[in-house]
Amino acid sequence: MSLIRKTAAELGSMIAAGEVSAVEVAEAHLDRMAEVEPKVKAFLHVDREVTLEQARAVDARLRAGEQLGPLAGVPIAHKDIFTTRDMPTTAASKILEGWRPPYDATVTARLREAGLVILGKTNLDEFAMGSSTENSAYHATCNPWDLTKIPGGSSGGSSAAVAAYEAPLSTGTDTGGSIRQPASVTGIVGMKPTYGGSSRYGLIAFASSLDTPGPFARNVLDAALLHEAFSGYDPMDSTSIDAPVPSVVEAAKTPDVAGMRIGVVKEFAGEGYQAGVLARYHEAVQLLESLGAKVVEVSCPSFTTALPAYYLIAPSECSSNLARFDAMRYGLRVGDDGTRSAEEVMALTRAAGFGPEVKRRIMLGTYALSSGYYDAYYGQAQKVRTVIAREFEAAYQQVDVLVSPTTPTTAFAIGERADDPMAMYLADLCTIPSNLAGNAAISVPVGLADEDGLPVGLQIMAPVLGDDRCYRVGAAVEQALESRWGGSLLSKAPEL
């Protein structure tokens, strides 16, 4: 098997044993990128020499006897919303085009400490605002299963890179489903850790009370290994949880759901869901029952109000966070010819630098926070958020995890929803409640929809700091299905 087809765990073991060098592994993936990138367009920035320099440094550390983690030397694609001192960080926005940060994000630093080799920066919806990666200021990314389809968003570049075998691992951020939804539509594993379980320091903020870094991988164990590598308390992040990282790797190696109580969310499997998505979802629930889990229906009525609440809270935080892009300190500056005031330069710069979706959310958030409307909109949305969190807490008194489809449909066509924001927002219908409550959730592939042959994901949700439960259940589903399929779901994908 070629190096690009091996799992991250296998590559890490081979590099540690001296069977292959980090440089050789990096070169294999860079060559794959050169082959398929013109079709997939997953990356915004690649510098072959910078990547190989990192790989040579890892090989030198290993030769010197340094004890590195199990992913040392393994390549990774990094979402272009984490700051990187040796590569540009743009958040896929023209307002940050070419910006080279003077520091690494905590996630970036921990990847380097663990010996992972960053292949490049991946594409995303501008400032992580979107569900299709069409909102990037640079280009749309394509789904490797069908190049006419979207790879999900906002972390679509990261999901596409893993699904296309350009990288065995990648990073993403999940604000309303931006890891789980792309994972679902590209047939890979994507995890949203508990909010505060992974550091936001150096992550360009969209919505500070929601943004959560997490891993993408082609299997559950690889995702757990990456999760463990970059998670944990960070004093640089005031919302970071000062508690041990849940035992996610051990859980991924223990795919046993016998005796577990699985809650089926009643509100997430009705009208508006694609028939093929529901068919694979119900099969996955039956599979869990056959593996010894007890399945019960759970009703969480407020989950149906999560979408409108989210689209008041997230834009409100976005309007505040993006005020820092003012043309005064860094990034784009338009109209500064010496004749205009600072306010005029700021207005011209923001008009030129922000895309339509970012402007839409800034305006919506500014309105929701404005005098006379704050209590009616933002305040009410926060009350809904509290009710959702309480319904989760009540549900977890009855069950160990909750399950639902990850997204109501498979990947839609590029351009299909570009002029219909409401239709686009519905892609995150099932994922948003976990962001509002701050709990853990994972998407694992469970098959292909009959209508279009595209991947379907199962979402597994667990309580705050119950991340290990997500991996345990996900690994059980993965093991059973791959035994049935005779390999991973990605092995059924068409060749690029």
Question: Three-class SS string for 356-394?
Answer: HHHHHHHHHHHHHHCCCCCHHHHHHHHHHHHHHHHHHHH
Query: Which helix (H) or strand (E) element contains residue 441?
Result: strand 440-448
Kindly report, residue by residue over 436-482, the tens digit of the pLDDT. Answer: 999 999 999 999 999 999 999 999 999 999 999 999 999 999 999 99
d(C-alpha 425, C-alpha 273), whole Å: 14
Kindly report, residue by residue over 64-114, the tens digit of the pLDDT. Answer: 999 999 999 999 999 999 999 999 999 999 999 999 999 999 999 999 999
pTM for this structure? 0.97
Residue reference for tokens 């969190």: 389
Catalytic residue among 178, 198, 240, 434: 178
Question: Which amino acid is present at 122?
Answer: T
d(C-alpha 187, C-alpha 185), whole Å: 6
State the average pLDDT over residues 402-421: 96
Whether the predicted pLDDT of 193 surpasses 80: yes
pLDDT score at 269: 85
pLDDT score at 175: 98
d(C-alpha 95, C-alpha 350), whole Å: 7
Contact status, residue 319 vs residue 362, Cβ threshold 8 Å: yes
pLDDT score at 108: 98
Sign of the dihedral defined by the CA atoms of residues 450, 452, 453, 455, in that order: negative
State the average pLDDT over residues 476-489: 97
Pick 3-256+463-492's CATH classification: 3.40.50.620, 3.90.1300.10, 3.30.70.100, 3.40.50.12140: 3.90.1300.10
User: pLDDT band at residue 270, thresholds of 50, 70 and 90?
Assistant: confident
d(C-alpha 80, C-alpha 134), whole Å: 15
State the average pLDDT over residues 226-249: 98
d(C-alpha 339, C-alpha 115), whole Å: 50
Contact status, residue 183 vs residue 55, Cβ threshold 8 Å: no
d(C-alpha 155, C-alpha 152), whole Å: 7
Catalytic residue among 79, 94, 121, 192: 79
The backbone region for 430, taken as left when phi is positive above 0, alpha when psi lies in -120 to 50, beta otherwise, is: alpha
Contact status, residue 50 vs residue 86, Cβ threshold 8 Å: yes
Q: Is 351 exposed, middle or buried (0-12, 13-18, 19+ CB in 10 A)?
A: exposed
Q: Where are the domains of the chain?
A: 3-256+463-492
Catalytic site residue 154? yes
Closest CA to 77 of 25, 118, 29: 118
Whether the predicted pLDDT of 272 surpasses 80: yes
pLDDT score at 1: 58
Catalytic residue among 154, 158, 404, 434: 154
State the average pLDDT over residues 410-432: 95
State the average pLDDT over residues 216-223: 98
Kindly report the average pLDDT of the chain as a whole number: 97
Catalytic site residue 79? yes
Contact status, residue 22 vs residue 68, Cβ threshold 8 Å: no
Question: Using omega within 30 degrees of 0 as the cis cutoff, is the peptide bond preceding 371 cis?
Answer: no
pLDDT score at 189: 98
